[in-house]
DNA sequence: ATGCATGTTCGATGTGTATCGTAGATGCCG
DNA sequence: CGGCATCTACGATACACATCGAACATGCAT
């Protein structure tokens, strides 16, 4: 029976998760990047994530994200495959993930000098 | 001449604000509560906010929220009236504030005991 | 002017947590 | 059956920051 298709690590019911907890989880730059990567890649193992921190730190963040309810992780042989719980999250917090992932990067900063077309503007 | 209707404290252009910065600002429980209060009350002075921290701490959080771009504050006599930059925020991060403010509180937690109404017991 | 209220600023303190290195557990492959 | 890879667990460290109290600035009323 499918009780052990692939063991899934323990994760909270999203009904019990506060929005503040989610915001706190996503407030960390590395964790936000992880969610971005997994959202575009669909799923990935810990080692496949290209991040500016050491492996043990990535593992720590993956655990945090899972315990917060943002990720689900199954065991596959010796690797843990994680992915975003997108559908459940969309039900619990409609529009939240979309608005965050769709956010455009900030524009540099106007540099408080003369705004006159020093740049390529024409 | 409305050049000085009421002096407005310096605030960033939202175009320069990263989503990560906003998430970090909203990750603090007190700041999230402030945004909630201001969103429902429309605007309020520092002292009018009912919060579980001291006045100087509230002031600190209001400054953080303003410098992050979430609030605008104008001077009115001796008081500072703050409010959420709702329209600008909705343009910069469509749906973000709505999804956060609309989030429902978490349900308690199933308490891994027998679910039968034993909780009323004494 | 004097006093009072409102807010901010500053320094100090404590706590939380992001990060790392190392060691250990587990599965795969030849 | 070794040996290697992947990943987690643990302890240590460092830094960020939430919080407070006290001192100061400012405006208003009497």
Element housing B55 (H / E): helix B55-68
Looking at chain A, the whole-number percentage of residues with pLDDT higher than 70 is 84
pLDDT band at A122 (very low <50, low <70, confident <90, very high): very low
Please answer whether residues A101 and A39 qualify as being in contact, where contact means their C-beta atoms are separated by less than 8 angstroms: yes
Strand C positions closer than 7 A to protein CB: 5-10, 17-23, 26-28
Which residue is nearest to the C1' sugar atom of C25, using CA? A78
What tens-digit pLDDT sequence spans chain B (122 residues)? 433 446 899 999 999 999 999 999 999 999 999 999 999 999 999 999 999 999 999 999 999 999 999 999 999 988 999 999 999 999 999 999 999 999 999 998 766 555 544 454 44
CA distances from B74 to B4, B66, B77 (A): 10, 11, 10
Cα gap B12→B26, rounded to integer Å:
17
pLDDT tens sequence across A41-69? 999 999 999 999 999 999 999 999 999 99
Give the per-residue pLDDT at B1.
43
Q: The tokens of B70 are what?
A: 């979430």
Residue A78 Cβ under 7 A from any strand D atom: yes
CATH architecture of B14-101: Orthogonal Bundle (1.10)
| Strand C proximity list, CB < 7 Å | A 24, 28-30, 53-54, 56-57, 60-61, 64, 77-78; B 45-48, 55-56, 58-60, 62-63, 73, 78-80
Output the average pLDDT for chain A: 89
CA-nearest of B52, B109, B121, B104 to A18 is: B104
User: Which residues of chain B between 45 and 84 are close to nucleic strand D, CB under 7 A?
Assistant: 53-54, 56-57, 60-61, 64, 77-78
Alpha-carbon torsion angle A34, A40, A41, A47, nearest 10: -20
Q: Which helix (H) or strand (E) holds B44?
A: strand B44-45
Q: How far apart are CA A21 and CA B29, in angstroms?
A: 9
Per-residue pLDDT, B108: 81
- pLDDT at residue A98 above 50? yes
State the DSSP H helix or E strand holding residue B68, giving kind and residue range, or none if neither.
Answer: helix B55-68
Give the residue-averaged pLDDT of A93-101.
Answer: 98
pLDDT tier at A7 (50, 70, 90 boundaries)?
confident
Place of tokens 């810990």: A46
Selected residue with higher pLDDT from A7 and B68: B68
């Amino acid at each position: 029976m499918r009780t052990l298709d692939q063991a899934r690590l323990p994760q909270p019911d999203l009904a019990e998760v506060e929005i503040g907890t989610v915001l706190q989880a996503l407030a960390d730059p590395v964790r936000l990047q992880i969610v971005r990567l997994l959202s575009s890649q669909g799923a990935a193992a810990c080692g496949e994530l290209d991040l500016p921190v050491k492996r043990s730190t990535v593992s720590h963040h993956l655990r945090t994200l899972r315990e917060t309810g943002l990720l689900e992780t199954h065991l596959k042989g010796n690797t843990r495959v994680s992915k975003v719980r997108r559908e459940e999250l969309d039900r619990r917090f409609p529009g939240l993930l979309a608005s965050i992932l769709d956010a455009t990067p900030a524009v540099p900063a106007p540099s408080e000098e003369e705004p006159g077309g020093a740049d390529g503007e024409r």
